[in-house]
Amino acid sequence: MPQSSQSRFDAQRASDSAPRPTEPRFLEQVANACRVKHLAYRTEQSYVSWVKRFILFHNKRHPQEMGPAEVRAFLTHLAVNRTVSASTQNQALNAIVFMYREVVRRDPGDLGEFDRAKRPKRLPTVLTRDEVKRVLVHLEGTYGLMARLLYGTGMRLMECVRLRIKDVDFTRGTITIRSGKGDKDRTTILPESIREQLESHIERLRGLFAQDREANLRGVELPHALEVKSPNTGVSWPWQWVFPARDVSRDPRSGIVRRHHLLEDGLQRAMKRAVQLAKLSKPASCHTLRHSFATHLLESGTDIRTVQDLLGHSDVSTTMIYTHVMQQPGLGVRSLNQPPPVWVQMSTAHIYGDPPEIVCTEDSAFGYGLAPTVGRAWEAEFQRSLLPTQRGVILRTSFVIGRNRGAGNGALAKLGFLARIGLGGTVATGKQGMSWIHEVDLNRLFERALLDQAMTGAYVASGPNPVSQGEFMHALRKAIGMPIGLPATEWMVRHSAKWLLRTDPELALYGRYVVSQRLKNENFEFQFPLVGLALKNFLQS
């Protein structure tokens, strides 16, 4: 054998006989995937635990060998045999889906139907102000400060124990909460009642900080890769914990010995003892202080959007649950020394029903069916709620050509989508009325209702030139630049409106022609009186 060939053969044999790094065990791979995605340590522990239980449930079969049927069986077992809560079952599902996508590297497939644990609608437990005082009086020292911080800021328990010195701004009177639920940051208030106590507490920590630096202790844990990018940040004063643990401990992930923050179970035990000493007639935990914070703010008249921001809720509907446990339920039912002098109420032009060809005005008869019934109920409740000292204005609004500022994509966006793909033709006969108003004119009408003392009662809030549905879609196609618009028969609309437009098919099949006789008599001038001009202006802007 030539020398060069012999050398390559020896090198290859040496490479084959060299020890190969062993692949991590499967559960270790799950843990590593959690760390790559920067999931919280608690989430990592939870996901590893659920994957392990999933594997054991199927007699230690490898997940690679299993699919949707095995996942459904496990989730059904949790709901039926273990009677777990809906949130627990959902957590297990999230862990298994994560494992398949990030470790097995394949989609878990269509899970189909499985027995889901029922999610009960429960109201949060809320303490009265007196009950909060009775609990807090039995909490002293660091735990007392933490409990007062929970009640005064609305923080979650783990947000409190993970608070860092740099996030407390005494000058602005704010506390910044980093990586809260959903890995989101937010700002909340620094309660004046504990400002001095918190300042003294942080100042005392300087001694512990100096002690750790003298002992050459590794710095505190840092988020994600910051420790690699800036290794000295962990030993800087601003990044230290506001509530550090008394003793150092070994980091469960890195194995580094450092000072961690206080464990949350210490505060939980202290809170449990305080509730017992206060002799409350209801169960309460650390999270109850957060519920109480939100409810007491709403009871004092704080705007619900402000409370939503302070709590870090993504959806205001989550915050709305506290309105059901207020001592004075209903945000709008509140006695005012000076009620607003005018009340402008939105109603609907659907109140006139579906007259085929009649042009309706404010004096026309109401229609029949669901939409007119709802419209009449709105206006009747408005009249009952209107104070004798208030001027009331009702705007029976038609289709608005404007930007969507609510949920979903808005009606005009859906019609525009259909027009762009060539489906923007007539619906059924195409003769049903399409009354409309440009958002600029609607805003001007609102402003006039607020300022004009002579304006009172019901007005039709619609443009002066209603068109048929076919004419409206033709104008929309022309504004978009789509010459083709395939028609849709009635049966097609009835079968597709719910999943394509996500709306009731009746709204597409029926319509009405409405104009405001009152606005005409009062010489209100529309900036956009023609539908083609209104659509062109809106789409260009």
What's the rounded Cα separation, in Å, for the pair 91 and 179? 20
Out of 322, 352, 459, 510, pick the active-site residue: 322
* Predicted pLDDT of residue 506: 57
User: Closest by alpha carbon to 436, among 467, 403, 398?
Assistant: 398
CATH homologous superfamily of 26-104: Tyrosine recombinase, N-terminal domain (1.10.150.130)
- CA–CA separation, 264 vs 133, rounded Å? 22
- Joined tokens for residue 69: 């049927």
Q: What's the pLDDT score for residue 210? A: 94
For residue 504, what pLDDT is reported?
57
Tell me the residue ranges of DSSP E strands in 299-382: 342-348, 359-360
Q: List the CATH code of the domain at 124-221+232-329.
A: 1.10.443.10
How confident is the prediction along the chain (541 residues), in pLDDT tens digits per residue? 444 444 444 544 444 444 445 567 899 999 999 988 888 888 899 999 999 999 999 999 999 999 888 999 999 999 888 888 888 998 999 999 999 999 999 888 777 777 777 777 778 899 999 999 999 999 999 999 999 999 999 999 999 999 999 999 999 999 999 988 877 899 999 999 999 999 999 999 999 999 999 999 988 988 877 877 887 898 999 999 999 999 999 988 778 899 999 999 999 999 999 999 999 999 999 999 999 999 999 888 888 888 989 999 887 778 888 877 776 555 444 555 677 889 999 999 989 887 767 899 999 999 887 788 888 988 998 898 888 889 999 999 988 988 765 434 456 777 777 778 777 777 777 788 889 999 999 999 999 999 899 999 999 999 999 998 889 888 888 888 888 878 777 666 666 655 555 555 555 566 789 999 999 999 999 999 999 888 888 877 6
Per annotation, catalytic residue among 148, 258, 290, 296? 290
From 156, 258, 261, 512, active-site residue? 156
Is residue 438 among the annotated active site residues? no
Say whether 322 is catalytic. Answer: yes
Look at the domain 342-540 and name its fold: Rossmann fold (3.40.50)
Catalytic, out of 181, 218, 478, 536: 181
What are the residue boundaries of the structural domains of the chain, listed by start? 26-104, 124-221+232-329, 342-540
Record the tokens describing residue 456, joined without a space: 């009172």
The answer to whether residue 181 is catalytic is yes
Question: Which residues are CB-neighbours of 386 under 8 A, at least 6 positions away?
Answer: 343, 392
C-alpha span between 438 and 135 (Å, rounded): 56
**313 part of the active site:** yes
The reply to whether 512 belongs to the active site is no
As a whole number of angstroms, the distance between CA 347 and CA 47 comes to 49
Q: What are phi and psi of 110, to 5 degrees?
A: -75, 115
pLDDT of residue 393: 96
What is the number of alpha carbons within 13 Å of residue 527 lying toward its C-beta? 13
DSSP string, 99-151: HIIIII-S--------PPPP----PPP---HHHHHHHHTT--HHHHHHHHHHH
